[in-house]
Structure 1
Amino acid sequence: MTVLVQAAFAPLSLTSLTGRPSGLVSWGQGDAHLTLGYDRFGRPSAEVSDGSRDCQLVADKPLALGRWVRLALFADGTELQLLVDGRTAASAGWHGPLPTGTPVIGRRADQAEGADESCCGRLADVEVVCDPAEARRRAAAGSPALPDLDVVAELRALRGEDPNRPEYHFMPPAHWMNEPHAPIQVDGVHHLFYQANRRGPFWGAIEWGHAISKDLVHWTHLPPALTPDRTTVAPDGVWSGSSVLGESGEPLLYFTAGDFSRTPDQSVALARPSGDGWIADEAPLVEMPDDPDLVAGQFRDPFVWRETSGWFMLVGAGVVDHGGTALLYRSPDGRAWTSYGRLLVGDRSRHPETGEMWELPVLLPIGDDRHVFLVCPWWNERPADQIVEVAHWIGRWDPESATFTPDHPEPRRFDLGRHFTGPSGNVLDDGRTILWSIAQDGRTPEAQRAGGWAHNAGLPLELGLAGERLTIRPIRELESLRTAALDPGHIGGTTFECEVTAEASADPLVVSLTVAGLLALELTIDATRQLVRLRRPGASAYDVWGPDEYEEGPAVVPADDVRLRLFVDHSMVEAYVGDHTSITTRIDVSAGPPELSISTPYTSCRAWQLAGADN
């Protein structure tokens, strides 16, 4: 019996989410099956089993993103051949018939439609040929005469037209995004990396997305910097990390290497520039210490920086029965690292909101002699009502003794809106300290799949110090998005910015956003009581991250004039009160663009439409 199973394929992603090969054409029942596809490393593969015998064929080289290739499995009753563009890539003996069944396209037959082993890309010319002469003739066919795919354009085409999807906030062309990280400026060009999954708007097969910009606002997306299918040390995910310029000015990437075959499954690895991208080392650079005091298995998110006294690295971890910590390391060259203990240890008994482990530890300079230390609290099971996305301490960092001394023992909350998390930052060539974040969208997985996207970055912020308090300001480059000025009495649209000033001694400042005539958000800023109150009627129907109404205090509200700067980008709402308080939240604009009103007398109001940044 002669059979040819064949398909033309151009991949958008080459990583399987489970470790099993992804299916292009498949059929079978129970233990008897046939699958033509590609393995977890993006290499063409074929699997055949009749219930008692198993055979797997794998090509040596992985597929290329966006490039069309013709894959085929040829069987003649004595041998199986895996063909790539008409050439034999692997073969094995197989005497007897093949399993039977109804072919399924684009996935494995033993997985439901849309499951993790579905292929990610475009398929063409799928065929099953049983005529011996015709099968042999078609098996010799080369690559299809089709133009290569523009991967970024293809992803944009997949995202749909969800009215809640932001425009001027940084985000990938489509699908899943988590924290932006490892920002770095190289020869005047800003590079930003981010946790991404090109397979769909869900977690899995995490890689480092990559984009560049001249102004931190308008971004050009490039191919991924690191992917698990091409990173031996991280076959199950290239997770968060940081970047730093090496001795020769080369950008080095330090990342969390995910490998489920190891215990713990997280280590720190290094990737070095190679051509237009980066290549990761094959072995971990730093592994979790064998310390019974540390929370088992929690060791991730390296933050690396250089000073005249050497290289330093923080790695997020936790201390059993105490709280989160950042493990400190030193190095003379960025390669050989020595443990220097713990930078700081949380106190869960006094501050349970700071979690049992700290993710994404970041230490950034502010002012002349102070640093800010930021962490993202993590819980194995989050306690009820303990919602702090980012905590921070201001203090003095001494590189000679490698110590950080906080000015205040209690942690301070960074943002009051319950959607700000995942801090990362760097210092620009002009001396400004910039902080990035991920703004979790709070939707259900079903809503994310329907919309074709999940999450976006928060606005990049400039950090500073005024007295004993951190200053927080959206970067000035955002003013380049301003187009038409809006009438203060008629402020609205999908993308706009508004600046309001009111007297602190008067009634609390209250601003509202309505959608289709219904209240979507009401923000109250009470300078007298130093409180911020947020109402979002019906938010529980679209936002699993925050309640419909809550009050936060003490908030840092100016005692003289209350200054509010409000950004609206479809579902994203960010408010900045004075220079010290940020509030990041979400609304649902499915029914129409929001309109803003101010129900308290104000002394000044200016507003602008904002252009999209075409991310």
Structure 2
Amino acid sequence: MPPALLPTPGGADADGCFSGCCIVDEDGTPIILYTGVRLRSNPECGPLPPAECDLNLPFVETQLAAVPEGDPTLTMWSKREEPVLPMPPPDMPLVGWRDPFIFEIKGKQGNGREWGMLMGSGLKGQGGAIMIYRSESLYGGWRFDGMLCEANNTETGAMWECPLLLELTQTQASPKASAQTTGGIQSIHDSHTQLPTPTGKPASFREARNQGGQTDKAVESEPGNFQEMFGRIEPQPIASTSGKAAGGVSLLSRQISDLSIVSQDNGSGSSQQPAAQQQRQQPRQHTHFLCISPDAPTNPVLYWLGAFDHQNTKFILDGAKGPLKLDLGDILYAPNLMIDGKGRHILWGWLQERRKVGSYDYAGCLSVPRLLHLRGDRLIQEPVPEVSNLRRGQCWKTRHLSIQEEEMTPLEGLRGSSLDIEVVLDRGDASAAGLLFQGWDAAGEGSAAIVYDWERSVLEAIYEAPPRDMGATQDPDAEEDDGLRRVGGPVEADSGDVHMRILLDHSCVEVYLGTGEVLSTRIYRGHPPEDADAGISFVSYGGTANVKKCSAWVVKSIWKRDFQPHEQSSVFETIYEPVTAVMPMGSPVAA
């Protein structure tokens, strides 16, 4: 497919079309809002902003919009000439101003509803921040309405890119009572609360809402010390970042407009509501998901679960759970959100390459679409059920298999470079166990093991990992390095068994745990010999582990090979229902 947006020479996006979102206007028209970038040194792009609005970055940022050219496949887009927002507010010490995210919000005076826009930013010498705008039209008339929230240090970055905000639904019952098990993996996508689903295609976006449906960047400041902050694996939230002012916000849908929020006075933390009312509201305080991508794609995406102040349109960082890593791996950045026609909250992320720049001619790929919801105060991520529709051929299965210490137990007869593997591991007397992915040639990085460590409650990808004990239970506080590259982090294990689903697509690996965590990474194994097995083995360290069950399938492509731009159907229809309300690139709006 052709690119939806390309830089326009001499335009506000002459040197880059940066991140944004897609929304459906009230008349049913999809609109892409994005940040256009032009270099200060580009003489063809017109004058610089006035001094009071000039951030003095190497580039100038402008918020732009595009609409489809009457194409039902949304293949061809036309840019609007007038900017949505031409420049940032005057006289603010901002380090950036980009990545608009749109949602619907209740009017300031409680009358009607209007659009809200989050904008990624940061304050010089202080830390990341998220700005908020309001307007009755997506195309203009936006009013700056202050900060959604802001950090008081740079530990979570100097610039918060790609801000996301969403109220999540809760799993209705306890995990044991509500979880369905398919191939040994806990699946709870059928157990959480669903928003009402509109019947038939809505005539307009407004009708869909009434029915309850849902139709490397530079920063000026020094980035936060992420090695110090995230270099060690510890089984708890990583840091505490307090906002300068208490408050909160979010996707202010009909779903949350009736929600009473415990407000705080000027950051003091003292409640202004009766104690009984606070107690009744306490279980719902951590229902809002705030996500940011800090500074640059080399850093982990972070999120908080917290509350929002509806009156002041602020997300409450004080008391929120986090910041936590959205993904325990090293390739996910700049995710986006959508609410589909079933009311499901779905996240997509950019999975980067980790090879030498110039050795490939594309910019990574998208992750598998992930369902997001809550189990208590924990974020649960899992693949959408439609991903299972990609499975083809007979299922490879094994049960009750003992994995001896320091020995490889191959998944014999399993072939393919794109696989969907579900496994349930019993610890036995092992300290760690998992799957070893064999490397085939010198052009690749080599082998890597996806290992769960029961001693530390850690999920890791360990590169060039031998079958012998390679220190999987190494003390994370030890000063000496074992020389192995490790990617991973802590998980909240709730039983001795580990439920793991691994989606392998050539070098791209996404590992989903039954406890809700995800690890995405790259394993550059090289090309397998002709007629070779998949090159995957079970491994165990520190004792004997047991594979209670394992199932694996070859996975077919999502792409229709014969797809042409004039076709009337979506290329994603083989795994995902056609999207009539929002684009896969995301942006939730109020139901």
Q: Quote the residue 1:208 is aligned against.
A: none
CA offsets 1:301-338 (integer angstroms, 9 cap, x no match): 10112245321111111111221111111112222111
| CA positional deviation for 1:399 | 4.8
Tell me the distance in 1 between the aligned counterparts of 2:451 and 2:507: 19
Which one of 468, 475, 485 corresponds to residue 549 of structure 1? 485
Q: Quote the residue 1:224 is aligned against.
A: 3
Q: Quote the residue 1:269 is aligned against.
A: 64
| CA positional deviation for 1:252 | 1.5
Tell me the distance in 2 between the aligned counterparts of 1:549 and 1:259: 38
Tell me the distance in 1 between the aligned counterparts of 2:314 and 2:484: 42
Within the alignment, does 1:514 sit opposite 2:447 as a pair? Answer: no
Tell me the distance in 1 between the aligned counterparts of 2:142 and 2:16: 23
Which one of 134, 142, 153 corresponds to residue 337 of structure 1? 142
Further displaced range: 399-408 or 266-275: 399-408
Tell me the distance in 1 between the aligned counterparts of 2:102 and 2:347: 15
Structure 1 residues 345 and 237 mapped into 2: Cα distance closer, same or farther (>3 Å)? same
Higher relative contact order (CA 8 A, sep 6+): 2
| CA positional deviation for 1:365 | 2.6
Tell me the distance in 1 between the aligned counterparts of 2:487 and 2:4: 41
CA offsets 1:246-290 (integer angstroms, 9 cap, x no match): 121211221101222445510112223443344323232222222
CA offsets 1:458-483 (integer angstroms, 9 cap, x no match): 11111110011110001111101101
Q: Quote the residue 1:41 is aligned against.
A: none
| CA positional deviation for 1:517 | 9.2
Within the alignment, does 1:432 sit opposite 2:344 as a pair? Answer: yes
Tell me the distance in 2 between the aligned counterparts of 1:514 and 1:412: 31
Q: Quote the residue 1:572 is aligned against.
A: 508
Q: Quote the residue 1:305 is aligned against.
A: 103
What root-mean-square deviation, in Å, do the aligned CA atoms of Structure 1 and Structure 2 show? Answer: 2.7
Which amino acid in 2 is paired with 1:463? L
Q: Quote the residue 1:423 is aligned against.
A: 335
Preserved CA contact (<8 Å) 1:393 1:408: yes
Tell me the distance in 1 between the aligned counterparts of 2:368 and 2:67: 29
Q: Quote the residue 2:295 is aligned against.
A: 378
What are the residue-to-residue correspondences of 1:39-78 with 2, within 5 Å? Answer: none
Gap runs ≥5 in structure 1: 1-220, 540-546
What are the residue-to-residue correspondences of 1:464-613 with 2, within 5 Å? Answer: 464-484=373-393, 485-488=395-398, 489-490=411-412, 491-503=414-426, 506-507=429-430, 508-516=432-440, 520-537=447-464, 548-550=484-486, 552-592=488-528, 594-599=534-539, 600-613=545-558
Over the matched positions of the two proteins, sequence identity in percent amounts to: 28
Preserved CA contact (<8 Å) 1:316 1:326: yes
Which amino acid in 2 is paired with 1:244? I
Within the alignment, does 1:323 sit opposite 2:127 as a pair? Answer: yes
Preserved CA contact (<8 Å) 1:504 1:558: no
Further displaced range: 247-256 or 500-509: 500-509
What are the residue-to-residue correspondences of 1:396-415 with 2, within 5 Å? Answer: 396-406=307-317, 407-408=319-320, 410-415=322-327
Q: Quote the residue 1:394 is aligned against.
A: 305
More strand by share: 1
Gap runs ≥5 in structure 2: 40-44, 49-53, 107-112, 171-255, 257-286, 399-410, 467-482, 540-544, 561-591
Tell me the distance in 2 between the aligned counterparts of 1:473 and 1:418: 18
Preserved CA contact (<8 Å) 1:473 1:579: no
Tell me the distance in 2 between the aligned counterparts of 1:343 and 1:606: 45
Computing the radius of gyration from Cα coordinates, the structure with the larger value is: 1
Tell me the distance in 1 between the aligned counterparts of 2:364 and 2:302: 21
| CA positional deviation for 1:487 | 4.2
Preserved CA contact (<8 Å) 1:244 1:251: yes
SS at match of 1:477: helix
Tell me the distance in 2 between the aligned counterparts of 1:271 and 1:591: 41
SS at match of 2:460: strand
SS at match of 2:358: helix
Which amino acid in 1 is paired with 2:160? W
Which amino acid in 2 is paired with 1:404? F
SS at match of 1:446: coil
Which one of 359, 362, 365 corresponds to residue 447 of structure 1? 359
Within the alignment, does 1:244 sit opposite 2:23 as a pair? Answer: yes
Structure 1 residues 272 and 396 mapped into 2: Cα distance closer, same or farther (>3 Å)? same
Structure 1 residues 234 and 410 mapped into 2: Cα distance closer, same or farther (>3 Å)? same
Which amino acid in 2 is paired with 1:606? S
Q: Quote the residue 2:184 is aligned against.
A: none
| CA positional deviation for 1:552 | 4.1
| CA positional deviation for 1:604 | 1.2
CA offsets 1:145-167 (integer angstroms, 9 cap, x no match): xxxxxxxxxxxxxxxxxxxxxxx
Tell me the distance in 1 between the aligned counterparts of 2:495 and 2:427: 6
SS at match of 2:93: coil
Structure 1 residues 478 and 552 mapped into 2: Cα distance closer, same or farther (>3 Å)? closer
Tell me the distance in 2 between the aligned counterparts of 1:580 and 1:499: 14
Tell me the distance in 2 between the aligned counterparts of 1:446 and 1:272: 33
Tell me the distance in 2 between the aligned counterparts of 1:511 and 1:502: 10
Per the normalisation by structure 1, the TM-score is 0.57
| CA positional deviation for 1:553 | 3.8
Which amino acid in 2 is paired with 1:513? F
Tell me the distance in 2 between the aligned counterparts of 1:292 and 1:586: 40
Preserved CA contact (<8 Å) 1:231 1:280: no
Per the normalisation by structure 2, the TM-score is 0.59
Q: Quote the residue 1:32 is aligned against.
A: none
Preserved CA contact (<8 Å) 2:428 2:546: no
Which amino acid in 1 is paired with 2:438? T
Preserved CA contact (<8 Å) 1:505 1:528: no
Structure 1 residues 510 and 611 mapped into 2: Cα distance closer, same or farther (>3 Å)? same
Preserved CA contact (<8 Å) 1:315 1:327: yes
Preserved CA contact (<8 Å) 2:488 2:519: no
Which amino acid in 2 is paired with 1:271? A
Q: Quote the residue 2:169 is aligned against.
A: 367
Q: Which runs of 4+ in 1 moved over 6 A?
A: none
Tell me the distance in 1 between the aligned counterparts of 2:459 and 2:301: 17
Which one of 48, 67, 82 corresponds to residue 283 of structure 1? 82
Tell me the distance in 1 between the aligned counterparts of 2:77 and 2:362: 26
